[in-house]
Structure formats: C-alpha cells, structure tokens
Structure 1
Amino acid sequence: METNKPNKKVTRVSGGDNTSHQATTTTFVPTAEAKGKANQLRTFAVISWILAIAAQIFAITLLFKPPVNMTWLIILIVVDLIFAIIGAVLWKKSNRLDPASEKDKFKFFMQSQLGMVVAIIAFLPLVIFIFTSKNLDGKQKGIVGSIAVVALVIAGVTGFDFNPPSIEQYTEQTRRVEWLQGSNFVYWTKSGTVYHLYNDCSYINTDRTTEIFEGSVAQARELKNIANLCSRCENRKIKEKNLDEADYQEQIEALDEAVEE
C-alpha cells in the first residue's frame, strides 16, 4: 500500500538509521556522539549544582551574622534555586542521550533521580538552619523559611524524572519499530507526544503542523523526550504487512537469548 506524501516540510535528523532490517537490536548502545554530548551536559550540570550548593553555604553563613540581611538571604535562595534547576534540566537531557540500565536498581535510581537528590542537598540544610536560627525572629523565619521550602519543592519536582529513560526501554522500543517498520526510523513533530511510522499520519499531518522530523527512536527521545509509538500507525502497519505478534515474540526471545550468551 502506497503512503500519501505529506503536505508538510519533512526534516531529516542527522544520524538517523534508515537501513532495512528486521528486529535485530540486541541491546541499545548510544552512539559515541550521544555519549560525548551526555558527558558534556553532565559536566555542566555538576558545575551548576556546585554553584547551587555554594549559594546555600553563603546563605547559611548569613544566619550567623546578626542582624541577618534578609534581602541577601532571599537572593541567595533564588540563586540556589536557579542553579539547581539548570543542573536538573541538563542532567535529565544527558540521561536521554545515555540512559542507565534498570538491572542495577540503585544505580538506575541515582542516575535517573539525581536532580531530586541534589535539590534536597542544596536546600534541606538551609531550611533546617533557618528554622533553628537564633538570629531570626518568628516573622523572619516564617518569611524566608517559607521561601526556602517552596524553593526546595520546586527544585525537587524539577529534578524528579517522572518517566526516566533506560537502556531496556530504548531496546524494547527500537526492536518494536524495527519489526514494524523494517528499520529504526520514525517521525515526530515539535509539539508531539508520540512518534509515528508514517509521515502522512493524520495525527501529525494537520493544519497545525508546519514541520515533521524523521530519525531514529532514540533521537525522538533525545530531542523531544517522546517515548511512545502512535497506536494508529502501529495498527495500520500490522494490517498492511499482515504481521503476526507471535513472530515478533519469537524474534524477541531469540534476541534475549543472544544477549544472555
């Protein structure tokens, strides 16, 4: 069945895989370029977190110098929050480029949720010092304490990854697309929440869409954090190619056995 040409601009993301093959991915391995970008992002994230913790330390020192300068204390809390958020955003982007494995649960949690952990480190000591400070009266503690607690919550929520990527997840998604599509090749849009097997899918080829991107499953996740396949495209491909889920399961079992060996 021939697909209709899309009426939108289609942009190829460099490095996409459009070679023809079946579900052959044994275990997802990020490219050298992706790992390099991930390491760079992690370096910048760590620097941002160090600056956030430094701001917290300066804020704590102010609490021991009566009268406490409330203005500078609030400014340092804001600075702490800004750098904590920057670090968290960069860290989560790096994980999409070079995800952790779910096999080691503790390592996976720490790599995936490090932004939240650092948020606690960057704010909880300050919150404790504020509410136990002898140089602040009740009103002052209420003001800066509330600001610090809100900042802690904001930084923690920003740092928490509600859908952390993993090697196993990337592997499963790539295998599925390879089996359906015959290649690791998908389409997505700037505001889309799923990736597609057809660039003329009615969900993306609409009046609201000005540009369609094409590339690999990993690139859709790396660039737009899109983690799910369009169910309409999936069903359409299965019907067009008369695919059998049993065959897919056999391929997956064979690939899993190859990994274990």
Structure 2
Amino acid sequence: MAEQHKKVEQGASKADAGEPPAGWTPTPEAKAKATRFRWIAAILWAVAIIGEAVGIFWLLRQRVFVGEDGKLVRDADTGLLREQGVAAEFPQWAFVALLVLLVVIAALSITGSVLWKKANRLDPARKSDTVRFFVQNQLGAIIAIVAFLPLIILIFLNKDMSKGQKTTAGIVGIALAVLAAVLGTSINPPSVEQYTADQSAVIQLLGQDEVVWVDGGAVYHVCDEVSAIQTGSEIRTGTTAEAIEAGKSRLTLQFASELRACDLSVPENADQITEALRAIQAGQTDTALPAPVWADPADAPITVEEAPAE
C-alpha cells in the first residue's frame, strides 16, 4: 500500500549530521529573511515619520483669511496696524488631508510592526540582554508613539482650527496611535533562550536535532506518526531552526505521548520536563530544564556530560 503522506526533509539536517549543535541559531535563510523584513519595516517607519513632519511643518500651517475687506486700524496697546474683522481659519481641504495623513501614518506604522515581529520570530534577541531584548521587541510601539504624539499635541495647540476640527482630528489621531502602539507591542516575544531550551529538549529526547511538522500546524513534533500531523499535508523533517523558519513557534508539550506513539523511550521525569518547557516558553528565565531520567540508562539516545562548575 502506498504511503498516504510524503515526508520531505529540509536542508541538510539529517540524522547522520554528526554532533548535535551546541546552541540554537537561525538558519542562514531565516537570518536573511529577518534582515530583509527589518529593512522594509525601517523604511516604512521612516516614511511614517516623514509624513508626520509634513503634517507638522506644512499641513498644520495652512490657513485662509476671511473678512479681508475689513478696514485698517491701529492697535492702541501695541501701536501696530491690523485689519479689523480679518480672521484666520484652517482650510477644509487641509483638514481632510490631515485625516488622510493620520490614516497613512497608522498604516505604515502597523505594517512595519508586523514585519518587525516576523523578523523577531525568525531571529530573536537574547532575553539575558535586557535592554536590547526590550527595545528590539517593543520598537513597533515606540515608533508608533514617535510618529503620532508630536502631531497630536500640535493638532490640539493649533489656533486656526475650529473646535470641531480639533476634536475630530484629535480623536482620530489618538485612536490610530493607540491601535498602532498596541499592534506594535510584543507580548511574550520569543527569545534565543526559549528556542535553545526546545532544541536542548529535542536533542536529549531523540539524540539529534531533528523534528517533524506540517505546513498548517503551529508547533513541531518529535514523532511523524501522531494524529496531530496526519492532516494530508506533506510531513516535513528538519532541525528546530528549520521548523522556526517554517513558521512553527515551539516544541509541542505533548512530546511524551508522541514518543510512545513512535515506540521511543519516554523519560521518567517527562512531566517535569513538560512543566519546565511550559514555563520557559511562557517567558520565564529562572527555570532550569531538567535532564531526562531514564528507567534504563541504555535507553538514553545520547549521553551529555554535565558542564564543569565555574
């Protein structure tokens, strides 16, 4: 009987690839894709800030004068001449253009944030590098604030706009700014430490950095016979880095049942490993990944020595 699903191997990561890698790193393709996403995001954000500058230094300075047929009078307090009955107003075309500009800035900011988040998933920062980790993952929200806040403040300070124009433009600006900032914020972003923990678990459980996944899934697996990947799609095999490149976010926490499905040895402390991975995947940095404990030491697919104490 022909096989129902085709198994596709990714890259050069195979079971005979030799010594498992010492730490997680993105694939060259993922690194290049992340760099490309970041450049595009930076360009979009730059255009958004340029748009803000256009709004501040040109659009908000537009005005029309009404009552220009007023007579010339002398101000008794200042001694200066002025036209009585002349008033400056913010033109309607500029008001409409301002609303359009706010929408364009939001679209550029949000699109840039989406691409930046994709780049961070492919090539994350280390959580141990606190400042870089925060800035790299929250840069979308920071850019949104920079691109909107000065413009919104100057809208409310504009003396030529009517009360209705200020209210409308201000509400639209604030709403779009909040939306862009929220969409630019990363909640529980991935880190090198998280990806390394998943990779370390895979190597200790299987003896090599090799996992399986399907295109429609969100996680990668340790067994190609489980029902979760029997979807009719091609079953793909590769390293954890290749799985991340393919859009999978983490190792499944159901690895124990998957090992049983493939008649592989299951460590006695599988529950502890699961809970540790759950905590690390949730962003905790002080959780140690337990070493697998095997009922029979001969069941261990790989022997890894403890690092010497520093």
Whether these two folds match at TM > 0.5 is: yes
Alignment check: 8 A CA contact 1:6 1:205 kept: no
Q: Is 1:240 matched with 2:239?
A: no
Letter aligned with residue 64 of structure 1: R
Match of 2:24 in 1: 28
Q: Is 1:132 matched with 2:129?
A: no
SS at match of 2:61: coil
TM-score by length of structure 1 reads: 0.82
CA distance in 2, matches of 1:124, 1:203: 47
CA distance in 2, matches of 1:6, 1:70: 65
Match of 1:223 in 2: 246
Greater CA drift, 209-218 or 89-98? 209-218
Alignment check: 8 A CA contact 1:23 1:176 kept: no
Q: CA deviation at 1:111?
A: 0.9
Letter aligned with residue 195 of structure 1: Y
CA distance in 2, matches of 1:79, 1:175: 44
Match of 1:59 in 2: 55
Letter aligned with residue 152 of structure 2: V
Instruction: Pick closer, same or farther for the CA change 1:40–1:132 going to 2, 3 Å.
Output: same
Instruction: Pick closer, same or farther for the CA change 1:248–1:135 going to 2, 3 Å.
Output: farther
Q: Deviations over 1:150-208 (max 9, x none)?
A: 211221122112231211111111111122233222233343222212233212314xx
CA distance in 2, matches of 1:41, 1:228: 21
Where do residues 16-165 of structure 1 align in structure 2 (5 Å cutoff)?
17-20=13-16, 24-61=20-57, 62-66=59-63, 67-68=90-91, 69-165=94-190
Q: CA deviation at 1:22?
A: 9.9
Greater CA drift, 123-132 or 215-224? 215-224
Alignment check: 8 A CA contact 2:221 2:255 kept: yes
Letter aligned with residue 216 of structure 1: T
Alignment check: 8 A CA contact 2:195 2:250 kept: no
Letter aligned with residue 292 of structure 2: Y
Match of 2:4 in 1: 7
Q: CA deviation at 1:129?
A: 1.6
Alignment check: 8 A CA contact 1:181 1:237 kept: no
- Tell me which of 208, 216, 219 is aligned to 1:191: 216
Letter aligned with residue 39 of structure 2: T
For structure 2, the 5+ residue unaligned runs are 64-89, 270-289, 294-301
CA distance in 1, matches of 2:291, 2:124: 28
CA distance in 1, matches of 2:62, 2:199: 58
The alignment-based identity, stated in percent, is 36
| Alignment: residue pair count | 250
Q: Which has the larger radius of gyration?
A: 2
Q: CA deviation at 1:25?
A: 4.0
Q: CA deviation at 1:47?
A: 0.9
Alignment check: 8 A CA contact 1:21 1:182 kept: no
Alignment check: 8 A CA contact 2:20 2:208 kept: no
Alignment check: 8 A CA contact 2:27 2:245 kept: no
CA distance in 1, matches of 2:304, 2:137: 26
Alignment check: 8 A CA contact 1:194 1:229 kept: yes
SS at match of 2:45: helix
Instruction: Choose between structure 1 and 2: higher helix proportion.
Output: 1
SS at match of 2:100: helix
Alignment check: 8 A CA contact 1:25 1:175 kept: no
Q: CA deviation at 1:149?
A: 1.5
CA distance in 2, matches of 1:6, 1:142: 65
CA distance in 1, matches of 2:106, 2:217: 29
Greater CA drift, 104-113 or 35-44? 35-44
CA distance in 2, matches of 1:16, 1:138: 65
Match of 2:228 in 1: 203
Alignment check: 8 A CA contact 1:88 1:115 kept: yes
Alignment check: 8 A CA contact 1:74 1:144 kept: yes
Alignment check: 8 A CA contact 2:37 2:118 kept: yes
Q: Is 1:171 matched with 2:196?
A: yes
Alignment check: 8 A CA contact 1:49 1:87 kept: yes
Q: CA deviation at 1:82?
A: 1.7
CA distance in 2, matches of 1:217, 1:71: 50
Alignment check: 8 A CA contact 2:222 2:258 kept: no
SS at match of 1:100: coil
